[in-house]
Amino acid sequence: MQKIKSLMARQGLKSPQESMTDLSPVENFRIPSKEELRELREQPVDPQAEQEIINSIEEVYFSGDSFDMVRHELEKLPPELNLQELEEYRDKLKRQQAAVSKKVADLILEKQPSYVKELERVTSLQTNLQLAAVICTNARRQLSFAKEGFTEASLGLLANQRRRQLLTGLLKSLRTIKTLQRTDVRLSEMLEEEDYPGAIQLCLECQKAASTFKHYSCISELNSKLQDTLEQIEEQLDVALSKTCKHFDVAHYNKVQLAYSLLGKTQTAMDQLHMHFTQAIHNTVFQVVLGYVELCAGNADTKFQKMQYKDLCTHITPDSYIPCLTDLCKALWEVMLSYHRTMQWHEDHDNEEGVPVTDGNGTLGADESVFDRSYVKKKLEHGLTRIWQDVQLKVKAYLLGTDMSNFKYDDFIFVLDIISRLMQVGEEFCSSRSEVLQESVKKQSVNYFKNYHRTRLEELRMFLENETWELCPVKSNFNIMQLHEFKFMGQSRSPSVSPSRQASAANPAEVPLFKQYYQGGNPFEMHIDNKEEETEDVLASNGYESDELDKSIYQDYDSDSDVPEELKRDYVDEQTGDVPVKSVSRETIRSRKKSDYGLNKLNAPILTNTTLNVIRLVGKYMQMMNILKPIAFDVIHCMSQLFDYYLYAVYTFFGRNDMYESSGLGLISSRLRTTLNRIQESLIDMEAATESAGAHGTSEERKEKVPSPHLSQLVVLTASGTLYGLAERVVATESLVFLAEQFEFLQSHLDTVMPAAKKPFLQQFYSQTVSTASELRKPIYWIVAAKAIDYEQMLLLMTGVKWDIKEIMSQHNIYVDVLLKEFEQFNKRLGDVSKHVRIPLPVANVLWEHCIRLANRTLVEGYANVKKCSNEGRALMQLDFQQFLMKLEKLTDIRPIPDKEFVETYIKAYYLTENDMEQFIKNHREYSMKQLTNLVNVCLGSHINKKARQKLLAAIDDIDRPKR
């Protein structure tokens, strides 16, 4: 079918007869003749059969024009030809050709009407085209007539007039263009004068004029140049804006803000400003640190410029650390002050009546202006925290860049002071608690403090081992607040220490820093100057004070104002500290004063150089704690260790004596013993003395401990002439008591800075340790009392007395006189000691109490040694004891006489019956087994039978058994 279609396309639309004549010989051969066609038409044909014949034709016959059907059929012939088969095949091809020919003929006849109709339309179109050509010819002719008939002169005049008007407008434009070109010079002048608003205003006007003449090519170039100039102005404006970050100038900032408002870029300006502040902080700190690093490095080839700021901080030397930190804080203060003044400018500006703000197109709407102000305000408020965070991070990197553990104490405190002032700035700047700074300072402080405290404990041990326990001469009005280290307690605390402080208008230190230094100056410069103001005058010259001071002391002495609390008490129980309710008469107080040995003009506190050193250390620790509260617990714990070690040393040097501790008098309370054991376990390195035995504790545990101190060889405690080192014992013990009093004085201050969770530790320290200091008097002075009087001699004298006399004696025994003489000698030696060291009343009382107790117990022991005794002998015992009491009361003011009942009860027990004696044995366990046995044997020996005696002795044995 394709072959047929292509054939028809080449031949065009012809009649069937014509198309038949144009076929090629081959094609003509294939198509049937007219007669055949007629025959074909006339023959009845079955359409279905005809279609089947067409379908049986090979597909290749429909492939295209280039197909050679004859060659195709020849190639299909078999090698051996069979005539019959060839004829059959030929007949088949003829049938196929006949079917195709008939089909083609039918199609041609079917399309003939359409062909005729189309031919008619073509003829009609040709006619219309000829008519159009005639109309065009007529129109051209008429136009030629119009041109010839119109006056060319009139049109020439009109054209000249129009040209004149155009030239006049051009002249105006040229003059404007000339003016525009000259503005470039004026703009440069304005920029040099920093008149940014004027330059922008002029530039915007030029741009507006240039947009009117943009059709000129030169103006298009000028417009581009003006745009470049405007961008250049913006760049210079950005530089001018960056200058306000370090040194804020109101006039300068006014210009810059007005310029940005003319550009309509108020918000952009604020964004840029914050970027500049961030950059200013970075550049400032980098340059400051770089300057010091390069200065200290000298001619080193290290490329410090290319280092990161954090790495640069590690190259700061200890000598330049504080000056660099100070300069760093000064520079950062300038940046923050500039930001503060910027905020103040905007606040003041917003409060004023708004000036119409214009951009390139005219005045901005009121709503837009309000929105801009709101945006600026929020941006500035948000920027406060961001800028302070940047400052903290920069200072943190600097702080942690150097190991400060080996700094001098004053240097470290100075660093803390600077950071404390910086935290105060941060609190005022954006109400920040400066967690970043707090954490970094805490880290350095804990590191420094552990190292510092360890060194101080070692120093304290050295002080104690070289201490000769001589009196340190201080003025009578000495107070720890006079020391350098405690000056800070009298000053207003910095806000970083107490954020909730109440500002005092009267105190200039309480005026906000940003208000105080608004116009100039620097808070960190002032901080340095304050370091020079520390002075103290606490030592008495050569141990004595002026006559005027002596006079004032006498006057104070006569009044009750300076009388120690102990002196005002009638009687103080050493165990409970309770004071009787009854009032104390003035005469009693005066009489007590006489008993205060050495209570002379120099009624100064008793303390040693070591005590003063410990107090100074406490002050230093408190300074550090005051500046940095987060390490308050660590500091207070270390302070408690200072006191613990001092207490343990005094006890070890003067109070430890196993021989006298076993006396059964309860010299050391259970609370004191627990405290001493705790100190020994937690603080004292007991293995240091026995290193050869091998260390059992870990090195970390031992690092926290200190070896037990040893008493200096210069201190002699065995000489009877000095009352066995009484002066040294008094100085040591009373200096400890004085130290405890200072700790008591500081308790309220320590309580305010101690974290709530750790307050039980502080309370326990005061109740279990500080309050036990005065309890050391008993064991320490007991040793003196036990040696000062010869009790053994008295026992020997008592054994020589005959107690089984038959008549009542009126004269006491000689041993009483010997004992009283011993007491008089003791009193005299006390007076001698008091010439060198004042012996306070509580000390004198303890000494006398111990001596009297020992004497009374010696008397009972002497009476218990009696083998035979009559009732008259018992009366003699009472006479001796009453004589002893009478004379003793003249020597001492202690009332009542200690253990008086102990002796009297024992003497009276000799008069008891058998039944009463049994009850007595049960009720009086304070007597030894030997003393009770003597009562049974000597007193009742002749009046009771053996069985009753055995019963009483068994009762005594039952009482004594639990003690064994």
DSSP-derived pairing of the beta strands 706-707 and 684-685 = parallel
pLDDT at 29: 41
- CB contact set of 838 (below 8 Å; sequence gap of 6+): 596, 597, 598, 599, 600, 602, 603, 604, 606
Judged against a pLDDT cut of 70, whether residue 664 lies above it is answered with no
> What mean pLDDT is predicted for residues 917-921?
86
pLDDT digits (tens, 9 = 90+) for 465-504: 998 999 888 888 888 888 888 888 876 444 344 333 333 3
- Out of 213-222, 548-557, 724-733, 752-761, pick the least confident: 548-557
- Give the Cα separation of 51 and 54 in Å (integer): 5
> What mean pLDDT is predicted for residues 19-23?
42
> What mean pLDDT is predicted for residues 741-757?
90
Burial level of 642, CB count in 10 A (0-12/13-18/19+)?
Answer: buried
Give the tokens for residue 367.
């709503």
Judged against a pLDDT cut of 50, whether residue 358 lies above it is answered with no
- CB contact set of 53 (below 8 Å; sequence gap of 6+): 95, 96, 99
- Out of 109-123, 380-394, 789-803, pick the least confident: 109-123
Q: Which of 947, 663, 920 is nearest to 934 (CA)?
A: 920
* Most confident region among 39-48, 250-259, 278-287, 680-689 by mean pLDDT: 278-287
Q: What phi, psi does 707 have (nearest 5°)?
A: -60, 150
pLDDT digits (tens, 9 = 90+) for 636-655: 999 999 999 999 999 988 88
Judged against a pLDDT cut of 90, whether residue 614 lies above it is answered with yes
Q: Under the phi-then-psi rule, with left for phi > 0, alpha for psi from -120 to 50, and beta for the rest, what region is 80?
A: beta
pLDDT at 649: 92
pLDDT at 70: 83
pLDDT at 898: 86
Neighbouring-strand partners of residue 652: none
- CB contact set of 469 (below 8 Å; sequence gap of 6+): 608, 715, 727, 728, 729, 731, 732
Model confidence at 249, pLDDT cuts 50, 70, 90, reads confident
Q: 287-320 b/e with 16+ CB inside 10 Å = b?
A: ebbbebbbeeeeeeeeebeebebeebbebbeeeb
* Most confident region among 167-181, 313-327, 654-668 by mean pLDDT: 313-327
* Most confident region among 585-594, 622-631, 925-934 by mean pLDDT: 925-934
Judged against a pLDDT cut of 80, whether residue 508 lies above it is answered with no
Model confidence at 301, pLDDT cuts 50, 70, 90, reads low
pLDDT digits (tens, 9 = 90+) for 302-330: 678 888 888 888 888 888 899 999 999 98
- H/E element, 160: helix 152-192
Q: Tell me the pLDDT of the chain averaged across its residues.
A: 77
Fill in the DSSP letter of residue 935.
I
| Torsion angle defined by CA atoms of residues 231, 235, 238 and 240, in that order, rounded to the nearest 10 degrees | -120
Judged against a pLDDT cut of 50, whether residue 11 lies above it is answered with no
Judged against a pLDDT cut of 50, whether residue 432 lies above it is answered with yes
Of residues 225 and 402, more confidence is placed in 402
Q: 787-821 b/e with 16+ CB inside 10 Å = b?
A: ebbbbeebeebbeebebeeeeeeeebbebbeebbe
Judged against a pLDDT cut of 80, whether residue 397 lies above it is answered with yes
> What mean pLDDT is predicted for residues 433-447?
86
- Out of 405-414, 524-533, 741-750, pick the least confident: 524-533
Model confidence at 559, pLDDT cuts 50, 70, 90, reads very low
Model confidence at 569, pLDDT cuts 50, 70, 90, reads very low
- Out of 814-828, 869-883, 934-948, pick the least confident: 934-948
pLDDT at 375: 83
pLDDT at 576: 39
Neighbouring-strand partners of residue 707: 685
- Give the Cα separation of 637 and 308 in Å (integer): 39
Judged against a pLDDT cut of 50, whether residue 738 lies above it is answered with yes
For 564-629, the DSSP string reads -HHHH-S---TTT----SS---HHHHHHHHHHSTT--S-------HHHHHHHHHHHHHHHHHHH-G
**For the chain, counts of helices (H) and of strands (E):** 39, 4
pLDDT at 370: 76
Contact between 622 and 635 under an 8 Å Cβ cutoff? The reply is: yes
* Most confident region among 36-40, 70-74, 189-193, 234-238 by mean pLDDT: 70-74
pLDDT at 584: 40
Model confidence at 180, pLDDT cuts 50, 70, 90, reads low
- CB contact set of 911 (below 8 Å; sequence gap of 6+): 871, 874, 939
Of residues 940 and 554, more confidence is placed in 940
- CB contact set of 647 (below 8 Å; sequence gap of 6+): 675, 676, 679, 736, 769, 772, 773, 776
> What mean pLDDT is predicted for residues 798-803?
87
Chain centroid to Cα 119, Å, comes to 105
pLDDT digits (tens, 9 = 90+) for 707-731: 989 888 888 888 887 888 888 899 9
Report the SS3 class of residue 89: helix
Judged against a pLDDT cut of 70, whether residue 141 lies above it is answered with yes
Q: Which of 254, 252, 257 is nearest to 267 (CA)?
A: 257
Neighbouring C-alpha atoms within 13 Å toward the C-beta of 556: 18
Neighbouring-strand partners of residue 685: 707
pLDDT at 663: 53
pLDDT at 244: 81
pLDDT at 113: 84
Model confidence at 913, pLDDT cuts 50, 70, 90, reads confident
- Give the Cα separation of 62 and 83 in Å (integer): 28
Of residues 4 and 609, more confidence is placed in 609
- Give the Cα separation of 873 and 807 in Å (integer): 8
pLDDT at 572: 39
